C-alpha cells in the first residue's frame, strides 16, 4: 500500500475564459471544482493505475468535507481534521495561458501539528511507500518534512519527496534522507545557487554534490525532454516521445505516482523510470488533472528510451 501525504490541500477551481479582461466583469460558464494539492493528484493517478492508496493530510471546514466527498471511494481517506478552513486555489485559463490565484491556507496550531504527527505514525503500519508532496501549511516549521521522513525511515518505509524551497533545503541539510527526490531544473538551480541546464555532464557533477548524500534516487524533470536520473552511482537519461499535450498540470505528480508504484513493487531502475515517465505523459494528454487513461499505457511504454550516461 502507498500512503500519500498532502499537508496543504485545496479545492482547485478552474475558470476557462476566451479572454481575461482586467478591471471589469468576466463571466464564466463552465466552472470545474476538484480536490486539489499535489499529493491528491498522486493519489488519483495511483488509483487509476490500480494501486491501493491511502490519502492523508490536514483538512478543515466545508472545503475539507468537499475534498473527502469528492475523492474516489477506492481511495482510503485518512485525513486529519483541523479547525481552519482548507484553502481554495483558482486557475484562470485564458488565451492559451494559465493565471493562478493561490490562497496560503489555514494556520495550524502546535497542538494540531503534534496531533497530525501522531496520526501519521499510526498510518504507517500497513504501507510500503510514503509520498510527501507540496507546500507546508502556515504554522508548520520548515523542517517538518524532515521529521516525517525520520519517522518513516525508523519504520522501514520508503519515501518520495516532491517539494521545493525552504522545506526541501531543510530535508537536504537534515539527518533523515528520503529515498527519492524529484526536483525540476528550476528547483535544482535554486538549491545550488546557479542556473542549471540540460547539459548531462554538468548534471552528473552537481548530483554528486555532498548536499545530496544519502539520497538513493534523484530524478530531475527536464519537461518535454524527459528525465535525468541518478540511482546510487548510476546515471540515466530518459528520452520521451513528442506527444500532443492537452494540459501539463499535474504531470509531475503523476510521475511521482509512477515512482512510488515502482518502489512499492520493487521494480528495477529501467522499469521504474519508464513507468514514471509514461504516467506523466498520460496525465498531460488529459483535460482532468491527476488522471490517466490506461488505454494508451502500453504504446507509450514501448516508446520510452533509457540509456546510461
Give catalytic residue positions. 253
Q: Report the C-alpha gap between 12 and 244 in whole angstroms.
A: 24
Half-sphere CA count of 182, side-chain side, radius 13 A:
27
Torsion sign over Cα 247, 248, 249, 253: positive
**Cα–Cα distance list, 303 to 11, 200, 243, 267, 278 (Å):** 35, 21, 11, 19, 9
Q: Report the C-alpha gap between 6 and 67 in whole angstroms.
A: 12
State the pairing for strand pair 10-17/158-162: unpaired
Query: Which residue is listed with cell 517538518?
Result: 144
C-alpha cell at 236: 540515466
Local structure of residue 179 (DSSP, 8 states): S
- Is the Cβ–Cβ distance between 269 and 236 less than 8 Å? yes
Q: Report the C-alpha gap between 273 and 115 in whole angstroms.
A: 36
Going by C-beta distance under 8 Å and a sequence separation of 6 or more, which residues neighbour residue 27?
Answer: none
- Is the Cβ–Cβ distance between 63 and 85 less than 8 Å? yes
- Is the Cβ–Cβ distance between 166 and 179 less than 8 Å? no
- In 3D space, the residue among 126, 139, 132, 136 whose CA is nearest the CA of residue 165 turns out to be 136
Tell me if residue 264 falls in helix, strand or coil: helix
Amino acid at each position: 500500500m502507498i500512503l500519500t501525504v498532502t499537508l496543504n490541500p485545496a479545492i482547485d477551481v478552474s475558470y476557462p475564459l476566451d479572454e481575461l479582461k482586467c478591471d471589469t466583469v468576466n463571466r464564466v460558464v463552465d466552472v470545474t471544482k476538484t480536490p486539489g494539492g499535489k499529493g491528491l493528484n498522486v493519489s488519483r493517478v495511483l488509483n487509476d493505475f490500480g494501486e491501493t492508496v491511502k490519502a492523508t493530510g490536514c483538512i478543515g471546514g466545508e472545503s475539507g468535507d468537499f475534498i473527502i466527498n469528492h475523492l474516489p471511494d477506492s481511495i482510503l481517506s485518512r485525513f486529519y481534521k483541523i479547525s481552519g478552513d482548507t484553502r481554495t486555489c483558482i486557475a484562470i485559463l485564458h488565451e492559451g495561458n494559465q493565471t493562478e490565484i493561490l490562497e496560503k491556507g489555514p494556520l495550524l496550531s502546535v497542538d494540531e501539528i503534534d496531533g497530525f504527527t501522531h496520526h501519521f505514525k499510526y498510518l504507517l503500519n500497513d504501507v510500503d511507500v510514503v509520498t510527501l508532496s507540496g507546500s507546508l501549511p502556515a504554522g508548520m516549521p520548515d523542517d517538518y518534512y524532515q521529521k516525517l521522513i525520520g519517522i518513516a525511515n525508523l519504520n522501514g518505509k520508503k519515501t518520495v519527496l516532491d517539494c521545493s524551497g525552504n522545506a526541501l533545503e531543510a530535508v537536504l541539510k537534515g539527518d533523515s534522507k528520503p529515498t527519492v527526490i524529484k526536483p525540476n531544473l528550476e528547483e535544482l538551480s535554486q538549491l545550488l545557487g546557479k542556473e542549471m541546464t540540460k547539459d548531462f555532464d554538468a548534471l552528473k557533477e552537481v548530483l554528486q554534490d555532498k548536499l545530496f548524500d544519502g539520497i538513493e534516487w534523484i530524478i530531475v524533470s527536464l519537461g518535454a525532454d524527459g528525465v535525468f536520473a541518478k540511482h546510487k552511482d548510476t546515471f540515466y537519461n530518459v528520452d520521451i516521445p513528442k506527444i500532443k499535450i492537452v494540459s501539463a498540470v499535474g504531470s509531475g505528480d503523476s510521475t511521482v505516482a509512477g515512482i512510488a508504484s515502482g518502489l512499492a513493487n520493487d521494480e528495477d531502475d529501467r522499469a521504474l523510470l519508464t513507468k514514471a515517465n509514461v504516467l506523466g505523459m498520460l496525465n498531460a494528454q488529459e483535460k482532468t488533472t491527476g488522471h490517466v487513461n490506461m488505454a494508451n499505457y502500453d504504446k507509450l511504454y514501448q516508446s520510452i528510451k533509457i540509456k546510461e550516461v
